[in-house]
Structures are given as structure tokens and as C-alpha cells.
Amino acid sequence: MKKVTAPAIIDLKGKRKITAITAYDYSSGQIADAAEVDMILVGDSLGMVVLGYEDTLSVTMEDMLHHTAAVSRGASRALIIGDMPFMSYQPSVSMAVENAGKFLSKTGARAVKLEGGFPFLEHVRAIVSSGVPVQGHIGLTPQHVARFGGFKAQGKTARSAAALVDEALALEAAGCFSIVLEAIPSEVAQEITNRVSIPTIGIGAGPDTDGQILVYHDILGLFDRFVPMFVKKFAQLRGDSIGAIKTYCDEVFAGEFPGKENFTNMNADELKIFKTLLMENNKN
């Protein structure tokens, strides 16, 4: 099975839509890979989906390296992208390069993603120059949620939309191999997609981007703490999972589980010897 690479993703622009999924562990990596998803982003959204935080700001490099390595062990085909968490790249260019390198050397990822445009162009250039492919991310960038005043759509005014177009072009010039466009008007996403020569990956950005990305738990209906407008649940596994676990509990209460098919028995001769040994031990 041919492994997906950053250059291969670039080559898909204009040929077919690109599929991406955000996943966080070995099993989800395996499943996404078996479904032949092009890219698996190990997102810092694991802070909310897996670790139960209110936002992504508490996620650490250690968290990201741990989960990215787990996904990489499960996926052998898809391009694995490590999401650079809050304050892993913002303080300095040298820190950005060092931490980006850790994703490739320690986790098996073959690219990184970082949020933001103009303030981080030098960071992107340096990371790319070091040999690490970079995926950009503009629009609603969750690490900037404090500045935005919440998880709010971006680019809804003419000036802010034009700024997003300029930012996308700047990220392309800095060397990004693709750009995530999150929670921006579809017209703006379409304009950016038409103007850049690298793929755009949309989430809440309409149908005209080069590809789409959704979170594994959202696709499968496993997470319901909040459901953004742009999420479509392709299954309802949370309800099925609760029902399955409830049935398990009921069968344990009723003595129906485990059944004969779920455990093993000793050979009759060995059982006889075993009981004899126990009797002898009790005498001593």
C-alpha cells in the first residue's frame, strides 16, 4: 500500500477531493487508515474530546507526542500530521523548529500543523527549511479563542475576508503544503481555494475547498458535549455504545455473562490432581 506524502497531497489539487480526519489513538488511526483517508491530523482538539478540557490551551507537547505516536502505530498509509499545541511554537522560531522536529523524530508523523498566518510566516519558513512539511490553519483558530471571545466564525466582513485571502497567499509563499480553512464563509473559502496552488482543507468552510476534515468522534456520533453547525454525524455510536455497556451490566447482574463460551475449564484429570494438592496443603 503506497504511503501518502505531503507532495502527493499537493498533487491531488484539481484532480479529486481530499479526505482528512482528526483522530487521537491507535484504534482510531487503524480505522481511519482502513477507510483509506488521505490525511490523519492528530489535533490538539484532543484536549476537549479526549482529556475533557474546556478548550485546547492546556494541551502540552507531551500530550501531542504521546497521542501522535499512538496514531502512527495504527496507520501505515495515511499522511500523519502532528498538531503543534499552544505555546509550542509561538515564543520563538528556534522553539518552533525544535518542536516540529520532535513530531517527525519521535512519533512517526510526516508533517505538522500550526495555527495563524502573518505573525508566524518566519516560523513556517524555518520549519519547512528544516525538512518538515507544514500545514497552515487560518479562520477560526482555537488557540486564539481568548482573543476571538469564543469559538466564532471568522472572515464575515469584507475587510476580514480580504485579510484571510492575503494570509493564505502568504502561507503558500512561506512553504505550506496545504491550508486548513475553519469556520469561514463559503465564498471566502472558494476565493482562497481558487487563488492558491496548494490544497485547502475545509471545516465549516463550505463545499468548494479542495478537501474536508472532521473529527473522528463527530463523524461517528461519539461526542455530544457540543456539536458545531458544520458537523455531520455519519453514525450514532454513542447511543449504541451506551446501550451495549448497559446490556453488559445487565448480563453480569443476571449471571448470564460470562457464558460457557467465554471461559476455559481444566482437564478433568488435572482438576482432580489440583484438588488433591489443595487438600494436602491444607493438612500442612
Hey, is 246 helix, strand or coil?
A: helix
Backbone phi and psi for residue 238, each to the nearest 5 degrees, phi listed first: -65, -50
Looking only at the bridges linking them, the beta strands covering 211-215 and 200-203 are: parallel
Let me know the angle formed at the C-alpha of 240 by 261 and 34, rounded to the nearest 5 degrees. Answer: 80
214, 147, 226: which is closest to 183 by C-alpha? 214
DSSP at 142: G
Answer positive or negative: Cα dihedral of 63, 66, 69, 71. Answer: negative
Known catalytic residue at 182: yes
Indicate which residue of 182, 191, 251, 280 is catalytic. 182
Helix (H) or strand (E) holding 212: strand 211-215
Decide: 40 and 80 in contact? Cβ < 8 Å.
Answer: yes
Q: In sequence order, which ranges of the chain are alpha helices (DSSP H)?
A: 6-11, 26-34, 46-49, 61-74, 93-107, 121-129, 145-148, 158-174, 186-195, 216-219, 237-254, 268-283
CA distance 42 to 84: 9
DSSP at 151: S
Measured CA to CA in angstroms, residue 278 lies from 265, 266, 273, 282 at distances of: 17, 15, 9, 6
Say which amino acid occupies 132.
V
Q: Annotated catalytic sites, by residue?
A: 182
